Structure 1
Amino acid sequence: MNIGIFIYPDAEVLDFSGPFEVFSTASRLCGTENPFSVFLIAESSALVSARAGYKVLPEYSIDDHPPLDVLIVSGGVHTHEMGNEKVLAWIRSQAECVTLIATVCTGIFLLANAVRSLSCKVTTHWEDIPELKKRFGRLHVVEGVRWVDEGSVISSGGISAGIDMSLHLVSKLHSESLAEKTALQMEFAWTKNT
């Protein structure tokens, strides 16, 4: 499965690095089976300056990536991206063709802005919940949870909650035993339930 993680300037580092580590570790533990191909995607293939100046080179741009099975939208300082119609149109088109779309932290703002019909249960970082409720009244924003699974849309709270969500995705897309092995390999205490 192709797992694309969307990043942008000022994206929160662990919001994309955490999920990347989960899927790459899970594949490594499977040996030759390699169930997941995970890669970073940005608006262009140029170097991206993530939060605190962390420099990242995406593998693909939104114009040249392979077909995705799963799209993960990272959070961060998303103000510019909220008005970036090229990015929003791309997220909208991906939401129509991927098996599922997941968001970490404020990534849900980008998904909700791109897909105006989105009206399911979601969550985000606790600090951003009031703004999410205010801007997107059609969403059922759940508080006090690490992640919410609505079938084809899965959202998580901030930063480390994205790792919990990604382990859940491994269990959903492959097996719970692989997710547990991945958490153990990463020495991460996986919060399984929301």
Structure 2
Amino acid sequence: MKIGFLMFDDLEELDMVGPWEVFTMAAQLRPEAGIDCVTIAADGGTVRCAKGMRIVADHGFADAPALDVLVVPGGRGTRREVENPILLGWIAEVAPGCTWVTSVCTGSMLLAAAGPAKDRRIATHWAAVDLVRGRGDAAEVLEEVRYVRDGNVITSAGVSAGIDMALWLVGEIWEPAFARKVQRAMQYDPAPPYAGEV
């Protein structure tokens, strides 16, 4: 199973590395599943994320492998990339060959603009709901949800919500018991709201 993570400058770090941790942990726990995670940027090379982290892409658009799952992060860079015909065209080209097309945060805006999430129910970061709604590409932009599935498109709210979305997808592809093993291995056991004073 080939899982591709789209990258662009100013993507939000945890939008990408949260799901990356889920899927790579699944690969460690179930090597026979053949899970292979790759990073893809338009021209390959290094991407500078929103908070300064730099990540080197495994592939450019020209040499990216066929994907089973596409993960599109959000972040400030989506405001620029939603007007980028090359990036949107690549999403539109590869998405039909994917079993699952996913996003975190404002990555859903890219999926809606490119076509895979057009006229579907999507989620995004709470602070970007009006921005995404204002574009008019989605049937509905949901609030107060961690993630939503509409067909084979799964979009999640912001930042940490991508972890929940990826864990759900692991459970859907394999089984919920395996997703729980992945969650335990990551020691991901959130207890919102902030409980530091308890």
TM bucket by the smaller chain? over 0.9
Which residues of 2 match residues 33-182 of structure 1 at below 5 A? 33-77=32-76, 78-115=78-115, 118-136=118-136, 138-182=138-182
Query: What is the deviation of 1:139?
Result: 2.0
Is contact 1:167–1:190 with CA below 8 Å preserved after alignment? no
Deviations 1:139-173 (A, max 9, x none): 21111000001121000000100000000110111
SS at match of 2:124: coil
Which amino acid letter does the alignment assign opposite residue 50 of structure 1? C
Distance 1:134 1:150 in 2: 20
| 1:78-129 per-position Cα deviation (integer Å, ceiling 9, x unaligned) | 1221121111100011122211100100001111111187211111000001
Question: In the alignment, what sits opposite 2:194?
Answer: none
Flag as ranges the 4+ runs of structure 1 deviating above 2 A: none
Give the structure-2-normalised TM-score: 0.91
Contact between 2:82 and 2:113, CA under 8 Å: does it hold in 1? yes
SS of match in other structure, 2:51 = helix
Paired residue type of 1:82: V
Between the aligned partners of 1:110 and 1:121, the Cα distance in structure 2 is: 14
Unpaired runs of at least 5, structure 2? 192-198
Corresponding residue pairs, total? 190
Q: TM-score, normalised by structure 1?
A: 0.93
- Provide the C-alpha distance between the structure 2 equivalents of 1:90 and 1:128, rounded to a whole number of angstroms: 24
Which segments of 5 or more consecutive residues in structure 1 lack a partner in the other structure?
none
C-alpha distance in 1, partners of 2:5/2:163? 13
Distance 1:117 1:159 in 2: 19
SS at match of 1:189: coil
Equivalent residue for 1:26?
A: 26
Mapped to 2, the partners of 1:152 and 1:103 lie a distance apart of 12
Residues in 2 aligned to 1:137 and 1:81: alpha-carbon distance in whole angstroms: 15
User: Which amino acid in 2 is paired with 1:17?
Assistant: V
The question of whether the paired residues in 1 share the 8 Å contact of 2:72 and 2:104 is answered with yes
- In structure 2, how many angstroms separate the alpha carbons of the residues matched to 1:179 and 1:24? 12
Letter in 2 for 1:110: L
**RMSD over equivalenced CA pairs, Å:** 1.6
Q: Which residue of 1 aligns with 2:185?
A: 185
1:136 Cα deviation after fit: 1.7
Q: Percent identity?
A: 36
